[in-house]
Structure 1
């Protein structure tokens, strides 16, 4: 089986857009490309945009206003600032004490909403999973289109928040929105006609691919692209002579992600009905 032919424009030309809000909608490929495409894929909303839509302040807003005498913070505010800290310092640097300081409250106040760091991490994963579920795919779209959209949104989430990728390994299987996302994937696989053992294998394969690729590509953030450049140059400089910059590596990562996911869909014979 050969990888699908990708357009000269790279991964951003596919129906897995990692483009800023307001980008032009993508047109469908011709039949010769072998991929069913979304006819109108609207710009994606990131976790950051979701916070703004609901009026949840960011870390700077809370910090600048929190040194007064109002220690009460909502759960949404705590999650918002925690995400800001992870983006700035990384997941390992996140502590309840440091989070309390950023909020302008004692660290014990954070325990009002979360019993420990693990529970807080699960809340961050839940926020990302909920964003992935907010699809703009038209009602009536086929299972391949919907699965492609879910994979695209997962990738977009980690592109916007690369330092959140390791959180996938620390969260349990009891995060409501993550469970809902898994059920959505299973539903589309069933719509594609899969059942029994083949259904289970297809689900695990697609889930593992999306998560593993995200962790592999973003796990070293914010230096993940520089790390990949160095690694490829140490393997074979001549072969990778066209991807010696971080921008080129990022484009290659996205192209490989799309190509791999399409191959998996082909392998399990998943098509739009």
Structure 2
């Protein structure tokens, strides 16, 4: 009995993490747990700091254990984007009897999603299964508006590109530190005021009416103009 206790006490301790806690067992990880940890790392430290080493420290696990679930960082990042999209879109895109209202609601849904997760604005442009669902919804709305296959496909693509490109710019700016954003706003205003009036008479004419780069009215106006054009040319409206 004494010998047994002696052998137990002589066992080497499990390797500890920087937190001082024992490392998590390899078989206790799952794709869902790793994706959640990756999201936590990005929210706290930014996308540039997302590494398997950082995720391992977040989970008190050895970084190599993550390779059992994800081939590389790119595969993990795509899984994280799918998770975020599903969180924003799941059950939200529901067709109604107002196809124009559906397109507008979809535009705002995607816009809000990008601004909710601005760190991933560039990566979210990648085509994923959740994006196919969005395209299916757009084409379905345009089809109910009377558009044929060629125009429905073109307008759905145009609408999607407008939403994502405009929102990506907004999202990228929101990631900047607050002091950088304030300095950018000030520079934007001062540079326009210092322009040569003879060289830029039209800018001088609008004066202080020119919206700032983050002014939400610019996004809303661009969306209104495109949707109004789509509705005006729709066979169903005719």
Question: TM-score, normalised to structure 2's length?
Answer: 0.71
What is the rounded CA distance, in whole Å, between the counterparts of 1:235 and 1:112 in structure 2?
A: 53
Is structure 2 residue 154 aligned with structure 1 residue 201?
Answer: yes
Does the 8 Å CA contact 1:96/1:110 hold for their aligned counterparts?
A: yes
What is the rounded CA distance, in whole Å, between the counterparts of 1:257 and 1:182 in structure 2?
A: 20
Unaligned runs of 5+ in 1: 1-62
- Per the alignment, residue 266 of structure 1 pairs with 228
User: Whose helix proportion is higher, 1 or 2?
Assistant: 2
- Per the alignment, residue 4 of structure 1 pairs with none
User: In the TM superposition, what is the alpha-carbon distance from 1:206 to its structure 2 partner?
Assistant: 0.9
Aligned pairs, number: 202
Is structure 2 residue 87 aligned with structure 1 residue 131?
Answer: yes
Is structure 2 residue 218 aligned with structure 1 residue 256?
Answer: yes
Does the 8 Å CA contact 2:24/2:59 hold for their aligned counterparts?
A: no
Residue by residue over 1:170-209, the C-alpha shift from the partner in whole angstroms, topping out at 9 and shown as x without a partner, is x3x3x22222222122211212222233222211111111
Cα distance change, pair 196–114 in 1 and its aligned pair in 2 (3 A): same
User: In the TM superposition, what is the alpha-carbon distance from 1:138 to its structure 2 partner?
Assistant: 7.0
**Correspondence list, 1:23-172, <5 A:** 67=22, 69-71=24-26, 72-136=28-92, 140-169=96-125, 171=126
What is the rounded CA distance, in whole Å, between the counterparts of 2:162 and 2:93 in structure 1?
A: 22
Q: Which SS does the other structure have where 1:236 is aligned?
A: helix
Q: Which has the larger radius of gyration?
A: 2
Cα distance change, pair 181–105 in 1 and its aligned pair in 2 (3 A): same
- Per the alignment, residue 176 of structure 2 pairs with 222
Residue by residue over 1:118-141, the C-alpha shift from the partner in whole angstroms, topping out at 9 and shown as x without a partner, is 111211221232234335577634
Question: TM-score, normalised to structure 1's length?
Answer: 0.63
User: In the TM superposition, what is the alpha-carbon distance from 1:264 to its structure 2 partner?
Assistant: 0.8
User: In the TM superposition, what is the alpha-carbon distance from 1:211 to its structure 2 partner?
Assistant: 1.1
Cα distance change, pair 67–132 in 1 and its aligned pair in 2 (3 A): same
Instruction: Compute the RMSD of aligned alpha carbons.
Output: 3.2
1 or 2 for the larger relative contact order (CA 8 Å, sep ≥6)? 1
Does the 8 Å CA contact 1:126/1:178 hold for their aligned counterparts?
A: no
